[in-house]
Amino acid sequence: MKSLRTLAWNGIPSVYRAVTWKLLLGYLPSIRSRQNAIIQRKRREYFEYIPRLFDVPDSERTEEELATLHQISVDVPRTACSSIVLKNEDIQKRLKRLLYIWANRHPACGYVQGINDLCIPFLVTFLNDRYPGLLLESFLIGRSNRRTELERSGLDVPRRDRSGHVLLHLAALGRDSGPLHDGPAGHSAHGEEAGGFGASNGRRLV
């Protein structure tokens, strides 16, 4: 893992960026046989927060929660406003829900302007991943003090091709040594349509 982190520091080829981030951030264990169980647990935990924290009537929210929800509702449309992707109403709704749940789980700091912008590298990286919303939530929870590292790990790849080196280390960590057609636990990492953002199996994920 240390070698993979060193290689990733100067840039990760886009086709390997999503899975590399998952490994380096601790979302995925390096042992592939454990990945499916852990992913399922994290998805289940996030699903439980949605009806408990977000899908509730405003009459049941405190004044502070209403103020937070209002600020998020104002900030989300402004987030990367020049991006066509971020103008999509469904994606804005998911980002809003993510930020609100995050704020509720972190009452000590709550939501502040700028946290919405921290989501963008993840949103772009995992847009074609099967469960982007869930990954955003998992990565952001408890990791706000690692902003600089996350941003630097997503720098553009240098002109020389580093794909072979990264692929070798992914293989050593339990990934297949062939092309990454399959994502963690057998899910497609690159084949999802952007229009299917977070909606696989008919489930709302963020």
User: What confidence score (pLDDT) does residue 63 get?
Assistant: 95
User: What confidence score (pLDDT) does residue 140 get?
Assistant: 56
Give the model confidence (pLDDT) of 88-117 as tens digits: 888 888 899 999 999 999 888 889 988 999
pTM: 0.60
Average pLDDT, the chain: 70
Give the model confidence (pLDDT) of 1-16 as tens digits: 888 888 888 888 877 8
**How would residue 133 be classed by pLDDT, with cut points 50, 70 and 90?**
low
> Quick one: average pLDDT of 124-142?
57
User: What confidence score (pLDDT) does residue 48 get?
Assistant: 93
Q: Is the Cβ–Cβ distance between 183 and 170 less than 8 Å?
A: no
The CA distance from 79 to 85, in Å, is 11
User: What confidence score (pLDDT) does residue 131 get?
Assistant: 47
The CA distance from 170 to 63, in Å, is 47
User: What confidence score (pLDDT) does residue 128 get?
Assistant: 60
Phi, psi dihedral angles at 11 (to 5 degrees)? 130, 145
Q: Could you say which DSSP state residue 12 is in? A: -
User: What confidence score (pLDDT) does residue 156 get?
Assistant: 44
Domains of the chain, by residue range, sit at 2-202
Phi, psi dihedral angles at 186 (to 5 degrees)? 85, 5
